Structure 1
Amino acid sequence: MTSVALVAALAASPASAREAVYASAPGKVSVTVYRDPNRSLGQRIDREWPRGFAMITETRTVTLPPGESTIRFEGVAEGMVAVSAIVTGLPGGTIEKNRNADLLSPASLVDGTLGNRVTITRTNPATGVAASEDAIVRTRADGGIVLQTQAGFEAVRCSGLPEKLTFDRVPDGLSAQPVFSIDTRTPAGGTYEVQLTYISWGFDWEAHYVASHTGKDADGRERLRMRSWLTLVNDNGQSFPDAQLLVVAGALNIASDFQALASPPTARPLYLDCYPIGSTAAGSAIDVPPPPPPAPPPPMMAYEADSIVVTGARMSARGLMESPAPIVAQEENLGDLKLYRVPVAVDVAAKSMKQVAFLDRDEVKAAFQYRYSCSPWGENDEASPLAIWLRTKNDRKNGLGVALPTGGVTLFEQSSRGEQLVGEPSMRDYAEGRDVELELGLSPNIFGRCVKDTKRDPGSRPYPWVTMHTTLTNANRFPVEVRIELGSPAEWKARSKLKGLALRDGQWSIEQKLAPNSSTTIAWDQRSAQAKD
C-alpha cells in the first residue's frame, strides 16, 4: 500500500506534470534605446559594434494548463540580459527563469537526437544510386558522429561515400530563434496577456544636426535653418515590427556590464573530420590559395536604407534638408533625463540603422564670434588666426527652446557657387535656456598677435602688474565681434580701461567690435592671482 502511494505521489509531482507551452508572437512591442554611456564627446557611433542598450517590452498571449508549466518566449533579442527580465500578468508569478544557450544548428540537432533514430543516406558515386537506412545516434557532436546500424557501429563520413543524415523532427527545446523560458504555476489555467520586459545589449543611438546659414535677419543677426536626426542602430539578429520607439538622452550611471551579462545563444557548427572524400589514386589535394575577397559593399549596405546617404563630389545641405520630415520625435521629461517618443509605430529591423527626425527649425537666430587667447604665459611674436565660434541661446526667442542631445553638427554656408560645407563640430548636451557655443575652425581673415610689454616676470614676487596688448586685424568687408580670453581668475587678476573686460564662462575676457578692413590694438594689465592687493 505504501509503495502504491509513493508511486502515485511521484506521478503527481510538479516536475513530472510540468508542461511546456509557447507564448504567442508579440502583439505590442516597445523599444527604448539608450546610448553608449562610455562614448565621449565627438566619438561617433560604432555601427559594427554598438555598445548601447535597449529596454524592450513585449505583450504576448499565453494559454496555461492547470498546475505547473514552462512558458517559452521565442524570438527575444539575442543580446538579452536574462537577469533583467521581468514577466507580469501571470496569476502564479514566476518560479524560475532560464535563458536557452543553444540555437537550432547541425551540432545541437545531433545532440538533441542522441539515442534516437535518424535516416542515413549514402550515394554511390559511380552509379549515383542513393540507399537509405535507419540508424541510432550513439554519440554527441563533439568532433564526430557514431551511428548504430544493422551492420554495427560506424562513424559518419568515414565510409568513403557521400553521406547525409535526415531527422524526422526537431528535438524539444531547440529553436532557430533565441528563447527565454520561465516556470510558473496556476491552479485553474486559462489564457492570459503577459508582458515580458528586459534589457538587451547591441543597440545605440546618436543625434546629428544639419544647419544651413541663410543670411541675416532685420536685426543683423545670423539666420539658420536647422534639422536634426536621431540615428539608431540595432545589431541584434531580431526585428521588432510596428514597435513604439523611444530614445533616452542624458548621462546615466551604469554599473553593470551588459555585454558580459548578455551571453547570446550560439548556433554550434558540426565538424566531421574523418578523411576527405576521394581516392588514394587521385593523390593529395593541391593547396590552392583561396579566391580573393569580394569587392566591399557600397557604404551602409549592411544596414537597411532607412537613412540619409549623401553621394557626389560636394556635400549639399539641400539634399539633407529639403525632404519632408513627417515623423518628428516628441520630447518628454524623464526625471533629469530627456525622452524622445516617435509618435507612430515603426519597424526596428534586425542588423539595421534607422533615422528619425526630432528637430525642424527654419528661423534659428545666432551670431558669429571670433576668439583669441592671450596671457602673460602665451605671448606670440607672430600673428595667429582667431577661432570662429557660432553662438545662440537655446530658447524659443532664438528659434529653439528644446533640449539638444549631444551629437555632430554639419554647417553649410551660402556662396556664389551654391552651398559649401564650412564646419563639422561636435555639440554636447544643452538643456533649454542654456547658451549654445560651437567652435567651427580658424578664420582666414582675422588675425591677432599677443605681446607682453615688459620683461618683468609676473610669476615672481611681488607679483607685479604687467601690461599686455594684442593687435587684431580684420580683412573682412563686414564688422565682427571678437573676444580676447585672458585666463582663469584662479591664475590671474586683470584690469583695463575698456568696458568690455568681464568674467565670462569662467575666464577673464575682453569683448570688442572690430570694424571691416581695419586693425586695432587692445591693451590691459594682468598680475598673478596670488598677489595681495
Structure 2
Amino acid sequence: MTMTGCGVVGFVTSTPAAAQDRPTVEASVPTKQAVTIYRDPNRAPGDRLNRDNPQGFAMISEVRTVTLPPGESRIRFTGVAEGMVAVSAIVTGLPGGTIEKNRNADLLSPAALVDGTLGNRVRITRTNPGTGEQVSESAVVRTRADGGLVLQTSEGFEPVRCSGLPESLAFERVPAGLSSEPVFSIDTRDASGGTYTVTLSYLAWGFDWEANYVATLAQAGAREDARLRLVSWLTVLNDNGQSFENAELMAVAGTINVESDFEGLAEPPRARPLRLTCYPIGSTAAGSPELNFNPPVPPPAPMALAAPVMQRMRAEADEEIFVTGAMMASEEDLGDLKLYRVPEPVTVSAKGLKQVAFLDRPEVEGRIVYRADHCVPWTPFPSRDNPADFTPATLMLMTKNDAAHGLGAALPLGNMALFEPSPAGNMLVSELDLRDYAVGQDVELDIGESPQVFTQCARLGEREPDAYGTRWMPMRARVTNANPHSVTMRITLGQEAGWDYRFARERLLTKNGTRYVEVQIPANSTTNFDWQMRSTLR
C-alpha cells in the first residue's frame, strides 16, 4: 500500500491476517437484506428530518452464507452499518450458537495502518522536485501515529515529511484485523464443520423517515366544498456510509417507547487520519506556510450546454409525479402501529434520500371553513370600527379520514404542499404540517390567514367577569366577508372547562375541550353574532 502525506494511494501487496486462537472465516456478502426504518420518536409535528444528524433508527436483517471448520472459529461480517448497535445483534442459523460478540473499533485508515505496522518495515520514497528523480530505501516504523511519524533508516532516525522533499510510504501488507468497511464478528463452534445460511439482525442508528403529501385542489377559489387529489410519499434517510442494495424496505409509523440511548450505544468505527507534526521551514514560532497543491476549480459550463441539462432535469422531475401501483408501499397493521412495505426490492443508498409513494387518493372530499379565535372577555368591544381592530380569519381545510370522503387510510406525521390550479398551471398556496391521523379521525389543517375574511371579537360593556361567576358577560363577534360567495365561519368561544356559554341562535359544539359554533356569513357582508359567557370557578 502506498501513502503520500496522510493519504492512502494504493496497495503493493496484501497477505492474509495473522492466525489467531480461533481460525477466522469470512461470511459472504448479503444475499438478501431487509431494512425497517423507525422515525425519530421525539420529532413533533412541524419538525423536519435532520439530514445532518438523523435521530431515528432501523432494524436490519442480512442473510449470508458461511463455511465453518470443525471446532471453534471466528466469523467476520464485513460491511455492516457503521451505526450498528452491537449489543442488539442476533445471529441465527448456526448449529453451535454464539460464544462471543465483537465490534471492530478501527477502520483501515492512515493512522491505523501506521499503528499496525509499528516495528515492521516499510519503504520510503523521496522525490527530487527539480529533476523528478526518486530514491527509495527500507525503513522501520518506530512511533505510533500520535503526532509525528519517525522511521529508522540507514542514516538513523528521521521524521517523515520534515526533509522538505515530497515523501511517500509503501506498506507491504494490511495489518491483521483492519478493514475498509465496518466489521462485526462472533465466535462460534461446530463439531463437524459445514456450510450454513445464517441471518444477522441488528439495530442501527442514523436513519429516519417522514411522510410528504402533495394535495392539489380541483378548482381555484376558497369555496366551501373542496375536492382534491392527495399523493403521499415516504421519504427515507440513511446517514450511514453503507448502502443496502436490493433490500426489502419497510417503514413503521407511530410512536414507540424507546428507553435505550441508541446513539451512544452505536459507537461508529473510527477512520483516524495521520497527523504529522514538524517544522521543516522557518521557526517553531512562525510555523510552516500552508501550500495549496489542489488543482484549480474548473470553469462553469457554458450557458448553451447548461440549458439542455436544466431541461432534462425538469423533464425528470415531471416524470416523478406519476405514481404506479407496482411501486406503491402497502399499509399493514403492526399492533397499534402502521407498517408500510415497499413491494419491490430497492436500494437504500449511503448518505442518501429515497422517496417511495404510499398513498394516491384522486377524489378526496373536504370543505373550507374560516375560524375566528381570540374571543376573550377581558377586552371591551370598540365603539367605532377600526381596521386595526380586525384580525384575519384562519383558513382551514377540513375532511374526515374515511372511505366516504375518499381517504380511509392512516396518515403519518409529515408535511403537505397544497396547490391550486391557475391559468399558469398549479400554484403553491400553502405548506402545512400534519400529525398522525388514524382512520376515522377528523382532519383539520390550518392553511393560513385569509385576505378576504376578517373578524373582531370582544366583550360588550365595561364590566369584566366577576370572581364569583355570578355575572353573565355579553360577547360579540363581528365578521366581514369580502368574498363574492358565502362562507362558513367557526367562532371559537373558549375552553369548556371553567366557563358556561349561552348562544341563542346556534347549537354549541365541543371539540378537544373547546366550545364553538359554526355560522354562515353571506357574501360581501358584515355580520354580528352575540352570546353570553360566565365563569364557573365559584
TM-score over 0.5 (shorter chain): yes
Q: Find the aligned partners of 1:524 and 1:292 in 2 and give their Cα distance.
A: 76
More displaced 10-residue stretch of structure 1: 111-120 or 46-55:
111-120
Q: Identity of aligned pairs, percent?
A: 56
1:478–1:113 distance in 2 versus 1, CA, 3 Å:
same
Alignment check: 8 A CA contact 1:463 1:530 kept: no
Q: Find the aligned partners of 2:323 and 2:250 in 1 and give their Cα distance.
A: 23
Alignment check: 8 A CA contact 1:500 1:512 kept: no
Following superposition of structure 1 onto structure 2, how do residues 338-377 of structure 1 map, counting pairs within 5 Å?
A: 338-373=338-373, 374-377=375-378
Q: Find the aligned partners of 2:153 and 2:484 in 1 and give their Cα distance.
A: 94
Q: Find the aligned partners of 2:165 and 2:423 in 1 and give their Cα distance.
A: 75
Q: 1:324-377 CA distances to partner (integer Å, 9 max, x unpaired)?
A: 565111101111111100000000011111111111111000001111122313
Q: 1:484, CA displacement in angstroms?
A: 0.8
1:230 counterpart letter in structure 2: L
1:171–1:286 distance in 2 versus 1, CA, 3 Å:
closer
Q: Which residue of 1 aligns with 2:309?
A: none
1:346 counterpart letter in structure 2: V
More displaced 10-residue stretch of structure 1: 119-128 or 172-181:
119-128
Q: Which residue of 1 aligns with 2:536?
A: 529
Q: 1:245, CA displacement in angstroms?
A: 0.4
Q: Which residue of 2 aligns with 1:301?
A: none
Alignment check: 8 A CA contact 1:75 1:177 kept: yes
Q: Which residue of 2 aligns with 1:173?
A: 177
Following superposition of structure 1 onto structure 2, how do residues 98-497 of structure 1 map, counting pairs within 5 Å?
A: 98-125=102-129, 127-215=131-219, 221-276=225-280, 321-322=321-322, 326-373=326-373, 374-377=375-378, 381=382, 382-497=389-504
1:17–1:442 distance in 2 versus 1, CA, 3 Å:
closer
Q: Find the aligned partners of 1:294 and 1:522 in 2 and give their Cα distance.
A: 68
Q: Which residue of 2 aligns with 1:74?
A: 78
Q: 1:175, CA displacement in angstroms?
A: 0.4
- Counterpart of 1:273 in 2: which secondary structure? coil
Q: 1:32, CA displacement in angstroms?
A: 0.7
1:86 counterpart letter in structure 2: I
1:90–1:82 distance in 2 versus 1, CA, 3 Å:
same
Q: Find the aligned partners of 2:458 and 2:56 in 1 and give their Cα distance.
A: 49
2:352 counterpart letter in structure 1: S
Q: Find the aligned partners of 1:163 and 1:451 in 2 and give their Cα distance.
A: 81
Q: Find the aligned partners of 1:318 and 1:125 in 2 and give their Cα distance.
A: 54
Q: Find the aligned partners of 2:469 and 2:406 in 1 and give their Cα distance.
A: 51
1:265 counterpart letter in structure 2: P
Alignment check: 8 A CA contact 2:224 2:487 kept: no
Q: 1:220, CA displacement in angstroms?
A: 7.5
Q: Which residue of 1 aligns with 2:505?
A: 498
1:452–1:172 distance in 2 versus 1, CA, 3 Å:
same
Q: 1:448-491 CA distances to partner (integer Å, 9 max, x unpaired)?
A: 22132232321323531112121222111122111111111212
1:290–1:387 distance in 2 versus 1, CA, 3 Å:
farther
Q: Find the aligned partners of 2:537 and 2:260 in 1 and give their Cα distance.
A: 45
1:69–1:118 distance in 2 versus 1, CA, 3 Å:
same
Q: 1:16, CA displacement in angstroms?
A: 6.2
Q: Which residue of 2 aligns with 1:3?
A: none
Q: 1:495, CA displacement in angstroms?
A: 1.2
Q: Which residue of 2 aligns with 1:306?
A: none
- Counterpart of 1:424 in 2: which secondary structure? strand
More displaced 10-residue stretch of structure 1: 139-148 or 252-261:
139-148
More displaced 10-residue stretch of structure 1: 243-252 or 283-292:
283-292
- Counterpart of 1:195 in 2: which secondary structure? strand
- Counterpart of 1:255 in 2: which secondary structure? coil
Alignment check: 8 A CA contact 1:210 1:320 kept: no
2:25 is the alignment partner of 1:24: no
- Counterpart of 2:175 in 1: which secondary structure? coil
1:118–1:362 distance in 2 versus 1, CA, 3 Å:
same
Q: Find the aligned partners of 1:143 and 1:256 in 2 and give their Cα distance.
A: 36
1:274–1:384 distance in 2 versus 1, CA, 3 Å:
closer
- Counterpart of 1:457 in 2: which secondary structure? coil
- Counterpart of 1:266 in 2: which secondary structure? coil
Alignment check: 8 A CA contact 2:125 2:168 kept: yes
Q: Find the aligned partners of 1:33 and 1:380 in 2 and give their Cα distance.
A: 54
More displaced 10-residue stretch of structure 1: 505-514 or 373-382:
373-382
Q: TM-score, normalised by structure 1?
A: 0.86
Q: 1:41-89 CA distances to partner (integer Å, 9 max, x unpaired)?
A: 1011111221211111111111111111111111111111111111111
- Counterpart of 1:215 in 2: which secondary structure? coil
2:53 is the alignment partner of 1:49: yes
More displaced 10-residue stretch of structure 1: 54-63 or 375-384:
375-384
Q: Which residue of 2 aligns with 1:11?
A: none
For structure 2, the 5+ residue unaligned runs are: 1-18, 301-311, 383-388
Q: 1:434, CA displacement in angstroms?
A: 0.5
Alignment check: 8 A CA contact 2:328 2:356 kept: yes
Among candidates 101, 110, 120, match of residue 97 of structure 1? 101
Alignment check: 8 A CA contact 2:415 2:433 kept: yes
Alignment check: 8 A CA contact 1:26 1:59 kept: yes
Q: Find the aligned partners of 1:430 and 1:104 in 2 and give their Cα distance.
A: 47
Q: TM-score, normalised by structure 2?
A: 0.85
Alignment check: 8 A CA contact 1:62 1:191 kept: yes
Q: Find the aligned partners of 2:290 and 2:66 in 1 and give their Cα distance.
A: 56
- Counterpart of 1:455 in 2: which secondary structure? coil
Alignment check: 8 A CA contact 1:489 1:529 kept: no
1:358 counterpart letter in structure 2: F
Alignment check: 8 A CA contact 2:49 2:208 kept: yes
2:412 counterpart letter in structure 1: P
1:109 counterpart letter in structure 2: L
Q: Find the aligned partners of 2:295 and 2:47 in 1 and give their Cα distance.
A: 33
More displaced 10-residue stretch of structure 1: 496-505 or 124-133:
124-133
1:525 counterpart letter in structure 2: Q
Alignment check: 8 A CA contact 2:279 2:287 kept: no
Q: 1:310, CA displacement in angstroms?
A: 9.6
Q: 1:291, CA displacement in angstroms?
A: 9.9
1:466–1:98 distance in 2 versus 1, CA, 3 Å:
same
Q: Find the aligned partners of 2:224 and 2:137 in 1 and give their Cα distance.
A: 89
- Counterpart of 1:110 in 2: which secondary structure? helix
Alignment check: 8 A CA contact 2:282 2:288 kept: no
Q: Find the aligned partners of 2:193 and 2:232 in 1 and give their Cα distance.
A: 50
